[in-house]
Amino acid sequence: MRASALLNMNLYGTSFIGSTRGAKTDETFNAFDPTTGNAVEPAFHSASIEELEKAANLADAARIPYGNLPGKTRANFLRSVADNIEALGDTLIERATLETSLPNARFVGERARTCGQLRMFADLLEEGSWVEARIDHAIPDRQPIPKPDVRSMYRPLGPVAVFCASNFPLAYSVAGGDTASALAAGCPVIVIAHTAHPGTAEFVASAIAKAVKDHEMPEGTFSLLFSKGYEIGQALVKHPAIRAVGFTGSRRGGRALMDLAAARPEPIPVYTEMSSVNPTFFLPSAIEKRSEALASDLHASVTGGVGQFCTKPGLVFLPQTAETSAFISNFRYQIANTKPAPLLTGGIQKAYKDASETRKSEVDGFTETTSTELKGFDVNPSVFEVSAADFLSKPDLGDEIFGPTTLIVNADSKEEMLQIAGDLEGQLAASVHGDEADLAEYADLIAILETKVGRLIFNGFSTGVEVCPSMVHGGPYPATSDSRSTAVGSRAITRFARLVCFQNFPDSALPEELKDSNPLAIWRMTDGEMGR
């Protein structure tokens, strides 16, 4: 029997509390169709504090048994989650499209990415070396004091609270990167669904719940809570069972969670992905040789997904060359002829309009789509323009506007570009366009940007994040709360693990990864030498 036949394809609008469903509480909310602004059925019921307490207690009870499962067992579980998500078929894709007004093709790709990263972590667990096992054998006759036997490896932190993102209903939500990496690390997960796409969340949660049941995982391995407001999410972060938090969203929301976690009697780490404008620097040769193509590529990057990618280029720095004016005119023309499109929520739409109105009064130039026939959560794409001197004198021009807009900054000199780069806040990514001669001439720009971002891109754009072991999707604050980590790629697993050292334990009592015989055949550092 195909997995799809075993998955319940109806939406009930209630939370997942371990292996049971939550109650139909009186506090409800609906998703909205961004194209029309109309509510979408069914209504979803906010979890109660009692349900949160039950989910947290179940996760706490699952902490040790789930964390102690062999890596291959967790790998099989993660693969089943991916299989079950795919088995939802068009039902999942169509619901995601209804709740976001983004095209079906977007979610076919996002589903593939979501399932791909689940399987990437499964492969990582099966191979096993991610635990970074280190062994230093005892030297009993060392002088002046004996050396003990010391061994260490990564072990799971415990239950993790994951907050879904508005702009990625699959890849950064219920079974997205935070959930996948936390489950891979051996941590139970409690997800707070996003109010923008609760139906999509329920479908994906059903896929995870089925895998939990089929693989006989501890009941508290996974829960999902619906919430109309902030009360449930805040209470979850403060709950003593929660050992870490994953969040993708606004700076305001991420900062609030960081402060809550820091104020706990026992503070916990919060891994937030927040605000980033991903500066793009065009160096002289790029504008001189590839002006037309780059203007089109920049337009695609700014307006793709209606500008609602965390990696959208929100700042563009141009040198003064003979071709710069033509580049700007070309880009303005493309923006002016881009059709309006809906943002994900009414709140995001209002924030976009308010920020745009404020910025208009602060810049030299402004161009937007000239449509007046806006409906639902529609907005007009736009581009602002300012001199480097004005940009340097008005720090708020570096703030993110979430949506299909960007700010062009005209720099009179290399020195202005360097000064601007040095003043930038932390970012997820920065792009530099030019040739090898430009890179040599602007080596100091690259050196500055390396201190400001998690990912440097040459002759490409920041939108599009490859899911692979070497990817870094992070950056200094306020891009994230911890620049030492990544939310994408196999290194993301270490956010939800901590190093534990075992000293003078007998071999029989050690984890498999630290036994002398290396039964899992993983890479380890033994007495300072890497090997298997």
pLDDT (average), residues 505-518 = 98
The beta-strand segments (E) located in 199-336 are 222-225, 244-248, 270-273, 280-282, 315-318
Tokens of 320: 């003064």
pLDDT (average), residues 517-531 = 97
Query: Which CATH architecture group holds 3-274+486-495?
Result: 3-Layer(aba) Sandwich (3.40)
Residue 8 pLDDT class (50, 70, 90 cuts): low
pLDDT on residue 7: 52
Distance, in Å, from the CA atom of 298 to the CA atom of 365, rounded to the nearest integer, reads 18
- CATH number at 280-458: 3.40.309.10
pLDDT on residue 430: 98
Average pLDDT, the chain: 96
Contact partners, residue 486, CB within 8 Å, separation at least 6:
454, 471, 472, 473, 474, 492
pLDDT (average), residues 156-180 = 98
Cα separations in angstroms, 500 against 268, 423, 458, 506, 532:
17, 39, 39, 16, 20
Distance, in Å, from the CA atom of 287 to the CA atom of 282, rounded to the nearest integer, reads 7
Helix (H) or strand (E) holding 448: helix 443-450
* Pair type for strands 150-156 and 134-136: antiparallel
Determine the number of helices (DSSP H) and then strands (DSSP E) in the chain.
16, 23
Which residue of the set 310, 323, 385, 400 is catalytic? 310
Reading phi first (left if > 0) and then psi (alpha if -120 to 50, else beta), residue 518 is in: left
pLDDT on residue 4: 39
Q: Exposed, middle or buried, 127 (CB in 10 Å: 0-12/13-18/19+)?
A: middle
Q: What is the pLDDT of residues 213-266, one digit of tens each?
A: 999 999 999 999 999 999 999 999 999 999 999 999 999 999 999 999 999 999
CA atoms within 13 A of residue 217's CA, in its CB half-sphere = 35
pLDDT (average), residues 53-58 = 98
Contact partners, residue 493, CB within 8 Å, separation at least 6:
121, 124, 130, 181, 184, 185
pLDDT on residue 371: 73
Instruction: Name which of 441, 314, 477, 287 is nearest 386 in CA terms.
Output: 314
Q: What is the pLDDT of residues 317-375, one digit of tens each?
A: 999 999 999 999 999 999 999 999 999 999 999 999 999 999 999 998 999 887 778 99
Q: What is the pLDDT of residues 260-282, one digit of tens each?
A: 999 999 999 999 999 999 999 99
Q: What is the pLDDT of residues 63-118, one digit of tens each?
A: 999 999 999 999 999 999 999 999 999 999 999 999 999 999 999 999 999 999 99
Q: What is the pLDDT of residues 12-38, one digit of tens each?
A: 999 999 999 999 999 999 999 999 999
Tokens of 137: 């054998």
Is the confidence at residue 1, as pLDDT, over 70? no
pLDDT on residue 6: 41
Give the residue extent of every domain in the chain: 3-274+486-495, 280-458
Task: Please say whether the beta carbons of 442 and 413 come within 8 A.
Answer: no
Is the confidence at residue 440, as pLDDT, over 60? yes
Is the confidence at residue 180, as pLDDT, over 60? yes
pTM for this model (two decimals): 0.96
Is 273 known to be catalytic? Answer: yes
Please give the share of the chain, as a percent, with pLDDT higher than 70.
Answer: 98
pLDDT on residue 373: 85
3-state DSSP of 196-233? CCHHHHHHHHHHHHHHHHHCCCCHHHEEEECCCCCHHH
3-state secondary structure of 247: strand
Is 310 known to be catalytic? Answer: yes
Which residue of the set 51, 99, 219, 273 is catalytic? 273
Residue positions counted in the chain: 532
Please give the share of the chain, as a percent, with pLDDT higher than 90.
Answer: 96
